[in-house]
A and B are shown apart, each in its own frame.
Chain A
Amino acid sequence: MNEREWEQWEGALRQLRDEPIDEALSAEVRAGVLARIRRERWQRWTVWGAAAAAVLVALGITMMSRAKEAPAVQQAANAPANSRVPDPPHVVRPAQPAVLTPVAKKAARRPRVVPARPRLAKEPMKIHMMTDDPGLVIIWLVGEDSEGGGE
């Protein structure tokens, strides 16, 4: 093949570029790409939607549980004094502040129970009574089963 003949072949090679593309193939490519894009968008929206729904559900559950807790606490705080159960013996109640701001917190607080000191039943109580005379002290012994007496 001489140079002139090869040039004709090279011309044919360059003309390959001008060959029309099958329109059906082009349409097939475009449709496939657009379908893939739409599918991917739909999947993305589905994922985001599911995530948003999960957040809303979690939020709703939290709100509902708080709403259930609040009335119970409120009821305990607003209950009338005479309806309360009588205090157990030897219970020391803390001094109530003048202003009760957060009702729920104060009401939820449980009274502090101070354990009762064991008392010696047989040991009498001694009461020292001072007189004008510093050398004279009256000691009053008070027992549980007696009315007491002076010394």
Chain B
Amino acid sequence: MADPTDEGASDPSRSRSQSGSFAARDNAAVQPAAFEELMVRYQRQVIGTALRLLGNRDDARDAAQEVFYRLYKHLGRLDPGHDPGRWLYRVTVNVCYDVRRKRTELPLAEGWEAGTEAPGWDASLDMEKRRDVLKRALRRLPEKERAAVVLREVEGLSTAEVAEALGSSEATVRSQVSMAKVKLRNWCAALLGRKS
């Protein structure tokens, strides 16, 4: 199934897929079945972001459901000239913050603490293992830095778009991303038993 959100920000075909999503959006305001089509278009963006921000499946599911429900409620109020994807990023981040606040304590990355070396892992770690380590490291970041680095580095948004989604300035976003990357680098180096 085609997913317009898989396309990069500079992809010229993005506008074409967006116009398709607008038609679906207009229809979705009336028909729940058409709204399901809209959810399929944006599920990777919303669920993926929620998973990386919250770090567990159940919370991500609850957050994604809340985000899509808000999308349904706000369909008529959204500017038809704009891609709802950016609006969805902002709502996803806010809902994830809310979900996190409802949890009294989030479990840290299980079985791994900074400074402890994972046996048998070295620089030749394959990508899958690296991604696993990074996902755990992301969960250790403060929530604002995590949101900034997830939107900027993982989702590939521009600094301005991240700033809009987070409701902060571009300078703040740059600072948060920079800080987050330093921490990630240190944790990964610690995992490998090397100095960064």
Does residue B156 face the partner (Cβ distance < 8 Å to A)?
yes
Which single residue of chain A is at the shortest CB-CB distance from B63?
A29
Query: How large, as a class, is the contact surface on chain A?
Result: 20 to 34
Q: B155 and A17: CB pair below 8 A? A: yes
Q: Which of A33-41, A50-58, A74-82 contacts B (4 or more CB under 8 A)?
A: A33-41
Does residue A5 face the partner (Cβ distance < 8 Å to B)?
yes
Q: B134 and A9: CB pair below 8 A? A: yes
Residues in B whose Cβ lies below 8 Å from that of A22: 57
Give per-residue flags for A21-48: 1 if the beta carbon is below 8 A from chain B beta carbons, else 0: 1100110111011101110010000000
How many chain B residues have a CB neighbour from A under 8 Å? 40
Q: A34 and B35: CB pair below 8 A? A: yes
Q: A13 and B189: CB pair below 8 A? A: no
Residues in A whose Cβ lies below 8 Å from that of B192: 1
> Chain A interface mostly helix, strand, loop or mixed?
helix
- Once A14-B156, A25-B47, A34-B36 are accepted as A-B contacts, the answer to whether A9 and B130 lie under 8 Å apart by CB is yes
Does residue A19 face the partner (Cβ distance < 8 Å to B)?
yes
Q: B64 and A13: CB pair below 8 A? A: no
Give per-residue flags for B119-134: 1 if the beta carbon is below 8 A from chain A beta carbons, else 0: 0000100010011001
A-B contact pairs, 10 of them (CB 8 A): A1-B189, A1-B195, A8-B123, A10-B153, A10-B181, A13-B149, A25-B47, A30-B36, A32-B61, A33-B69
